[in-house]
Amino acid sequence: MKPRPTKRSWAEPWKVKMVEPLRMISADERRRAIAAAGYNTFLLRSEDVYIDLLTDSGTSAMSDQQWAGMMLGDEAYAGSRNFYNLEAAIQKYYGYRYITPTHQGRGAENILSQICIKPGDYVPGNMYFTTTRHHQEAAGGTFVDVVIPEAHDPANEFPFKGNVDLEALAALIARVGAAKIPYVCVAATVNMAGGQPISMANMQAVRALTRAHGIRIFLDATRAVENAWFIQQLEPGYRDRSVASILLEFCSYSDGCTMSGKKDALVNIGGWLALNDKDLYDEASALVVVYEGLHTYGGMAGRDMEAMARGIAESVSDDHMTARIGQVQYLGEMLHDWGVPVVRPIGGHAVYLDARAFYPHIPQDQFPAQALAANLYEESGVRAMERGIVSAGRDKLTGENHHPKLELVRLTIPRRVYTQAHMDVTAESVAAVWDARASARGLRMTYEPRHLRFFQARFEPI
Ligand SMILES: *Cc1c(COP(=O)(O)O)cnc(C)c1O
């Protein structure tokens, strides 16, 4: 008999009511599929994927309460009752005053960038995000990375690697002047750093610094609930506070947010822009009608707004967050224990493989992370995505490739979708690719789209 472990386990706070069969195609078919997709996992057919860890965006399972809400859709063009339910949920849990739905997060980013950023402005942020930076630059701004240096080191165990480097932010303000900085864009958690949280103390300090210069803060609130869970677990003084109350306090240090409801808010589509300033909201809602739809639906169906309103309330539950991030950590710690190089500490929504450590023999210009994601699919049918030089794109002025320090593959865990057994299979698949690392080869890019190239670029083996 083996000794019984002394720990007490957590379990998911739900049970399964409906299932969707998975399909695994043969190794030969997988080889053909990834070649036909130009070695880009975004171009695979979902039917050819076994376990889909491409993204946690819009891939969550909705609850019975959310599905019931779908039947209560008020599909009026204007003033749908579901809009008011959504508005009330955002006001209650995030604390912002004025809200307009958008079709998803990037819709909100477009509107915010257009109303706030003038050509020649600078927009500091705690590491870039692909669509966020695109809209800031399209509006004439220059993104400036002010995340702490620890964020660029995949092995560094600092618990709040999403923090803003206050000295770097102060130096930027001194260099270009507050008038050229329309707002600071604070992401919580920081996706591109590995789903790393920012601490409440850091957020308070950013608020104090920006207030002194009259600069606004807009949150990328996409995974702010997950960030609140990390604060509860890791930051002194927050252990007895609910995730919901931490979220509300965190948001109170900002002037509004852009939001992709497809992540924390447990829906398949939707987003919003929230603002505390009435004049700014009026400008935003004048643009929403151009790009998204009337300000009371912003590109969303009534039923989808209802599902998001209900999803927000479910997302702030402590039990939900413990199981959600617990599953991510289960996968990450297993790989770490086996000696597979992953970004430390394990983040909130994904486990990030360190492709530089996998393939030190493949130069960054031969896309080691892109190759690793393709190899993992070929090995096992598990779909992940590149977060390295392909995602980083080119400098908007010089046209040169950005060379990010982090060259990662993201295994992103959808919420309430897969079981621990799927995580076991995934870990074993990654370990098999790790064992075969010496024979891996780099890639050459054969097609490069002009914008957000990682979505549609094509490659071939060298
Ligand atoms: C997904 C995401 C966005 C963009 O949201 P979409 O709904 O995909 O348009 C913005 N910021 C972060 C951090 C994200 O993860």
pLDDT in tens, the chain (462 residues): 888 888 888 999 999 999 999 999 999 999 999 999 999 999 999 999 999 999 999 999 999 999 999 999 999 999 999 999 999 999 999 999 999 999 999 999 999 999 999 999 999 999 989 999 999 999 999 999 999 999 999 999 999 999 999 999 999 999 999 999 999 999 999 998 899 999 999 999 999 999 999 999 999 999 999 999 999 999 999 999 999 999 999 999 999 999 999 999 999 999 999 999 999 999 999 999 999 999 999 999 999 999 999 999 999 999 999 999 999 999 999 999 999 999 999 999 999 999 999 999 999 999 999 999 999 999 999 999 999 999 999 988 899 999 999 999 999 999 999 999 999 999 999 999 999 999 999 999 999 999 899 999 999 999
pTM given for the model: 0.95
For residue 104 and ligand 1, the question of a CB distance below 6 A is answered with yes
For residue 189 and ligand 1, the question of a CB distance below 6 A is answered with no
Question: In the chain, what are the helix, strand and coil shares in percent, each to the nearest 5?
Answer: 45, 15, 40
For residue 196 and ligand 1, the question of a CB distance below 6 A is answered with no
Compute the radius of gyration of the chain from its Cα atoms: 22
Question: Domain spanning 27-56+318-461: which CATH class is it, in words?
Answer: alpha beta
For residue 59 and ligand 1, the question of a CB distance below 6 A is answered with no
Compute, in angstroms, the gap from residue 298 CA to the centroid of ligand 1: 16
Q: Say if residues 342 and 350 touch (Cβ distance below 8 Å).
A: no
Compute, in angstroms, the gap from residue 385 CA to the centroid of ligand 1: 15
- Domain 64-315 falls in which CATH fold? Aspartate Aminotransferase; domain 2 (3.40.640)
Instruction: State the catalytic residue, choosing from 220, 255, 264, 304.
Output: 220
The question of whether 263 is a catalytic residue gets the answer: yes
- Residue 183's identity, in one-letter code, is Y
Best residue among 42, 106, 219, 349 to mutate for probing ligand 1's pocket (most ligand atoms within 8 Å of CB) is: 106
Compute, in angstroms, the gap from residue 436 CA to the centroid of ligand 1: 33
For residue 132 and ligand 1, the question of a CB distance below 6 A is answered with yes
For residue 410 and ligand 1, the question of a CB distance below 6 A is answered with no
Q: Say if residues 23 and 47 touch (Cβ distance below 8 Å).
A: yes
Domain spans, the chain: 27-56+318-461, 64-315
| Helix residue spans in 94-182 (DSSP H) | 105-116, 130-138, 166-176
Distance CA 144, CA 147 (A): 9
DSSP string, 244-303: HHHHHHHHHTSSEEEEETTSTT--SS-EEEEES-HHHHHHHHHHHHHHTSSTTTTT--HH
The question of whether 189 is a catalytic residue gets the answer: no
CA 462 to chain centre: 31
